[in-house]
């Protein structure tokens, strides 16, 4: 099954990244179709998460599903924004696929782990954020020629932007709606 081999290769590639090994690039399809596959797996995962979390109250409307999926996709959105801003600020020509493809796979795991930790309580979610920042730092160090400070900055800014965007969405969703 192709899906299973893609996920197995992504897991093996991430083990190599975490261990500082070489050959991790061969485990990922660092192409546009490879990115599309990773995003499709990410989208399917967040759809399943929305469906599972809605099981006790009933599936929301189409708009509700799209809104929930957008909120769960914020980690990927924040990573793309920070990578593009960093690339523009540095006037770098670094290819982004070696970062985006593996990062999308780790974000699948992040969404699942963060959801589980949210059940335990709010402060436990910070563990997921720290883990995500650490893994992104290791990936950016392995995939780019950026120095340690820029790599750390990208990882930290990605997590900070993720948290800020979620907080902003929460604040917007709790605004009182004026009566007609």
Tokens of 154: 């990208």
Do residues 69 and 46 make contact, with C-beta atoms less than 8 angstroms apart? yes
* Eight-class DSSP state of 96: S
Model confidence at 179: pLDDT above 70 = no
Distance in angstroms (rounded) separating the CA atoms of residues 51 and 76: 20
Distance in angstroms (rounded) separating the CA atoms of residues 106 and 101: 9
Model confidence at 1: pLDDT above 70 = no
Tokens of 105: 């796979």
Model confidence at 127: pLDDT above 60 = yes
pLDDT value of position 174: 74
CA 34 to chain centre: 16
The proportion of the chain whose per-residue pLDDT surpasses 70, expressed as a percent, equals 97
**Integer-rounded Cα radius of gyration of the chain:** 17
Average pLDDT over residues 101-119: 92
């Amino acid at each position: 099954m192709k899906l299973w081999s893609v996920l197995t290769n992504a897991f093996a590639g991430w083990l190599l990244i975490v261990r500082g090994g070489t050959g991790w690039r061969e485990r990922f399809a660092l192409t546009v179709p490879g990115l599309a596959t990773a995003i499709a797996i990410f989208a399917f995962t967040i759809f399943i998460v929305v469906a599972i979390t809605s099981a006790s109250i009933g599936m929301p409307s189409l708009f509700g599903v799209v809104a929930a999926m957008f909120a769960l996709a914020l980690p990927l959105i924040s990573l793309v924004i920070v990578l593009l801003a960093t690339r523009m600020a540095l006037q770098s020509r670094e290819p982004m696929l070696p970062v985006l493809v593996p990062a999308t796979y780790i974000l699948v795991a992040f969404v699942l782990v963060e959801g589980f930790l949210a059940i335990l309580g709010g402060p436990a979610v910070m563990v997921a954020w720290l883990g995500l920042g650490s893994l992104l730092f290791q990936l950016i160090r392995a995939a780019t020629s950026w120095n340690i400070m820029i790599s750390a900055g990208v990882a930290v800014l990605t997590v900070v932007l993720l948290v800020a965007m979620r907080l902003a969405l929460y604040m917007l969703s709790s605004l009182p709606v004026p009566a007609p």
